[in-house]
Structure 1
């Protein structure tokens, strides 16, 4: 790797910014990481709920998240302790009208074939449709000549209504946080490539046992500091200008040889305009956003699910908004009796108001799990991340990491990638931005 610039600034302490900071520090940079909030992690961070550290949203990682896992190891995270590893699965509560699909620990593609053969709750026609779709997608190398909506893709390949309801729609919502009717089929195929179409280990589902800030950002900050860098929390950077003789001036005139902007698009737009990249800044203003809501429900400590998590059949007409429920006590014993229910693309659900939504979610759990006591949790907390992700629509133009300006790069889960707005796309973008400024340094020398 190229010799690093003497000092570098990373603006934004989310997963993209922390990844860029670690990559720069590993290359020998003296890094200053700026984060406007008091907590690292951005839109995947820890929050204080009822006196305990939980997350602003429940997440599942995949074994295919190679860059995320690489950097976690690099900063000292013990992955065996930090995540619960489960085989690829889509499992619904018994007698809820769902299905039970779980991949055995066999080499690919045998794991998928056997999972399909054993799946309960799917008719022969459903299984054949899934097998046909999977084999066709492999033959296409998981790529389309022209992007379209996920709904159009599923209709084109004759997917059954039940398979769409129980498999494709929940997967699309969970991965892209965008309804199938308006979600990008090409991005969805990329997710399927690394889950249904991947090796057994790559398709594993990883559930964090620790809060999202502790899973990487906090350890990343400690890594940067051990390497001689600095982490500044509660430090908003609102000005960025080119310096005479090269480099960049931040805030009150602090000089840095290189800068990575790793903020959300609105803040990045302002900084890019100041830096002289107005054309790039303009491309960040066309994003639309989708919310994600997580509802935490506390029950007596002995309350458990049979599995660490279940998929749920959501139906707005029935007041069933939850799409997945997680038993947090099976991830962290200190959270015994705590359930988290996720609602992706939750705009309509949020219109109910927090109290009404929490009541509806508790009633849904009581009904589908056949346990009336779940309708009365000891306490609830509803957390809505209003701009959790960009709406991942067909043909969406996403900016590159390069800004066209020397030693200034852009990072974020919204930059160009075949992935939707996930932790892995944020990490990949941060790494790419760091390597970009390091490569520019090498060329200049």
Structure 2
């Protein structure tokens, strides 16, 4: 158990509203430093948009995730709450591998020092013509010379055209990477944010930072559940089924009154699950729309509330298909050639049985930027994806799964468009901060972005809590200030 490093913070009462990865990160960091934390979540389970759901008697993720070796803060917090990343995550070298014979490519980096690993991978890559490889080499060399920074933002398609990327390279590499990382079509995705993602994958200074990490356990168990246990062990409370209904400044102006509504959760005897409760500070880790509504009554926060309300969203659909336990793919995951006009919706297919021995024969197929797919009948979408798998992988059995389930997160991420104005962690209201993957950052909506925002929010609260009472106010630096070396 960690020893708080800021004893003066003990007793500071902090409400963290929202039990997603951002809220859990904020709660863990505040608890580590000795604050008296109350974490509330309106749902019955923690995790937000990266959580477990019950399907056919099993707990599956609401979406398949890939982490990067560059997720430094996420990996650090996993260790802090007792999760061993080497056990909980399957580490693979950066790759883009399509099924053989389907017109794709096979690109996999060997375990060599960076950037030699990418040079060798490019030389060995199958499915790319000489002009494709030359275009890729020119692009990465120029981007590295630029420091992976683009000062005047544009769309990803405009960036690729500017650097003469070939249609085949766009089809097989750049477009799938953009959609997977930003969950926004390249025709309207931010090139500046895309370059930041490439910096920590194809352009990582350490080979291990570019590794792909696939969760072996469901997302709730990977971090949120362990985070809740950590908060409780450090004297805090975790209440599920409790919603932050409203906020008001305390009578003396030095804190907040929070209106909490709900039945509370097991394991928190004596906790008040409803009514008004006093707190010294509040972390809003709720969805952007809910945070905007909570801020709306405060004129000082009108600009922040406006930025939150202006965010648009993109869906992600994950199709689970259960086959006979003997079904096993040749790799833990494949890239797929999608073509919605031909009913080919799948973009990446994962063999869950190779990640979790308790899920043999279960495949997860991801459809990012799934606006059109989300409007389809779920059974029809699943049947189309099953046919796509059978064709691409050359296995007729895949056309007839034992059962299927499509899980669609309609607001999975914000639309990551050029020049998007995202709010910072700090607000003009003393003792009230934001946390979420939508806060100001050079990264898209990723787990690492969420975790870093939670840590940044905790840092602001810690600074606020150690000042004399009459001087408690928040500065306005404008963002979480995450180091550019970690995604």
Answer yes or no: is the 8 Å Cα contact 2:151–2:192 preserved in 1.
no
Map 1:274-293 onto structure 2 (within 5 A): 274-276=297-299, 277-293=301-317
**Gaps in structure 1 of 5+ consecutive residues:** none
Query: Secondary structure of the equivalent of 1:394?
Result: coil
2:153 partner SS:
coil
Which string of whole-angstrom CA distances, capped at 9 and with x for unpartnered residues, describes residues 22-42 of structure 1? 010011001000000001000
Aligned residue pair count: 445
For residue 224 of structure 2, what is the aligned residue in structure 1? 217
| Equivalent position of 1:429 in the other structure | 453
Change (3 A) 1:77 1:389: same
Q: Secondary structure at the match of 2:372?
A: helix
1:108 CA displacement: 0.5
Match of 2:169 in 1: 163
Q: Match for residue 249 of structure 1? A: 257
Contact 1:239 1:274 in 2 (8 A): no
**Is this contact kept in 1: 2:12–2:465, CA < 8 A?**
no
**2:286 — aligned with what?**
263
Mapping 1:361-380, distance limit 5 Å: 361-380=385-404
Please give the alpha-carbon distance, in whole angstroms, between the structure 1 residues aligned to 2:358 and 2:329. Answer: 16
2:408 pairs with 362, 381, 384, which one?
384
Question: Which segments of structure 1 move beyond 3 Å, counting only runs of 4 or more?
Answer: none
Pairing of 1:136-215 with structure 2 (within 5 A): 136-198=142-204, 199-215=206-222
Q: Partner of 1:271: helix, strand, or coil?
A: helix
Shift of 1:275: 4.9
1:16 and 2:56 aligned: no
Instruction: Kindly indicate whether structure 1 or structure 2 has the higher relative contact order, using CA contacts under 8 Å at least 6 residues apart.
Output: 1
Match of 1:273 among 285, 290, 296: 296
CA distance in 2, matches of 1:192, 1:95: 28
Residue aligned with 1:355, SS: helix
Cα distance in 2 between the residues matched to 1:65 and 1:435:
19
Question: CA-to-partner distance for each residue in 1:239-268, whole Å, 9 max, x for gaps?
Answer: 111102211111122001111000111110
Q: Aligned equivalents of 1:444 and 1:283: distance in 2?
A: 31
SS at structure 1 position matched to 2:54: strand
Q: Shift in Å at residue 278 of structure 1?
A: 2.6
Q: Does the CA contact (< 8 Å) of 2:110 and 2:121 recur in 1?
A: yes
2:389–2:399 contact (8 Å) kept in structure 1: yes
The structure 1 residue matched to 2:241, chosen from 231, 234, 237, is: 234
**SS in structure 2 opposite 1:58?**
coil
TM-score, L = length of structure 1: 0.99
Q: Distance in 1 between matches of 2:323 and 2:340?
A: 25
CA RMSD of aligned residues (A): 1.0
Deviations 1:114-145 (A, max 9, x none): 01011010011101111100000011111112
Alignment match, 2:52? 46
Which stretches in structure 2 are left out of the alignment for 5+ residues? 260-274, 470-487
In 1, Cα distance between equivalents of 2:304 and 2:126: 50
SS at match of 2:386: helix
* Match among 31, 51, 61 for residue 55 of structure 1: 61
Within-5 A mapping of 1:291-370: 291-370=315-394
Q: Work out the CA distance in 2 between the residues paired with 1:162 and 1:290.
A: 26
